[in-house]
């Protein structure tokens, strides 16, 4: 059984460099993917990944072992992405438009299936992959954390510094945008 993040951190604090190597191998790909989806630049994603682990090393003497490490690590990465993306003025959650014409009540009873529902699973997966890249970054971030990295709602809330209900709302809106984009693509074809 693999040691937990907190166990590895405790070992690293006592001078075991291999423990930190294990942590890096565990999370480097996830951090890189998150940073790339946020910044859309492989070099900047690489820099954010490096800087994230450097910040952990710097904060090591004061790092608490009773707090989950994974949301803390990803929180650092998200904050670094925010700092870098500030130059490009990222879309904030507060600026996202509410889904145009979206009426949750109507969607309960509208029986018309979307065109993408007739797609085979493989083709749907490919289209979802492309549509995900076209979503606003905040939506892409919550979707990626939930379904790409298997974060729980609580972990997403801790990582992004949002209340739990807000995370649920953002996930719901993100998937609505995704479905709307898929439907639009199918209509345009």
Partner 1 sequence: MIIPHLTPDQVEQLCDNELDATQRRVIEQHLEGCPLCRARVVQATRIQVALRAVPHLPLPSDLVNRIETRVTLEQMRRARLPFLVLAMLGSLLVAGWFCLELALALQANGILDFWTLLTSYSEQFSMELLFALLEAVPLTETLLTVCALLTVGVFTQQLVETLRPRPIR
Dihedral sign for Cα atoms in the order 144, 150, 152, 156: negative
- Does 21 bind partner 1 (CB under 8 A)? Our answer is yes
Region binding partner 1 by CB under 8 A among candidate stretches 2-10, 68-76, 90-98, 165-173 = 165-173
- Does 121 bind partner 1 (CB under 8 A)? Our answer is yes
Q: Which is nearer to partner 1, 96 or 124 (CB)?
A: 124
DSSP state at residue 145: I
- Does 20 bind partner 1 (CB under 8 A)? Our answer is yes
Question: Which secondary-structure segment (H or E) carries 31?
Answer: helix 17-39
DSSP string covering 47-80, please?
Answer: HHHHHHHHHHHHTGGG--SSS-HHHHHHHHHHHH
Q: Which two tokens stand for residue 32?
A: 């890189």
Q: Which residues bind partner 1 (CB under 8 A)?
A: 17, 20-21, 24-25, 28-29, 32-33, 36, 42, 44, 46-51, 53-54, 57-58, 80, 83-84, 104, 107-109, 111, 113-114, 117, 121, 124-125, 127-129, 132, 143-144, 146-148, 153, 168, 171-172, 175-176, 178-179
């Amino acid at each position: 059984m693999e040691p937990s993040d907190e166990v590895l951190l405790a070992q690293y604090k006592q001078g075991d460099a291999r423990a930190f190597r294990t942590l890096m191998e565990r999370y480097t790909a996830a951090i890189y993917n998150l940073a790339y989806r946020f910044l859309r630049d492989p070099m900047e994603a690489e820099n954010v990944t490096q800087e994230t682990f450097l910040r952990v090393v710097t904060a090591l003497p004061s790092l608490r072992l009773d707090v989950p490490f994974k949301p803390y690590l990803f929180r650092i990465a998200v904050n670094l992405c925010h700092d870098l993306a500030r130059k490009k003025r990222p879309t904030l959650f507060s600026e996202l438009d509410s889904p145009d014409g979206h009426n949750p009540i109507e969607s309960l009873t509208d029986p018309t299936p979307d065109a993408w529902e007739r797609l085979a699973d493989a083709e749907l997966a490919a289209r979802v992959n492309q549509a995900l890249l076209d979503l606003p970054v905040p939506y892409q971030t919550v979707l990626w954390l939930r379904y790409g990295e298997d974060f729980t709602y609580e972990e997403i809330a801790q990582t992004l510094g949002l209340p739990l209900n807000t995370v649920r709302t953002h996930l719901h809106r993100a998937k609505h945008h995704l479905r709307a984009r898929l439907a639009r693509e199918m209509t345009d074809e």
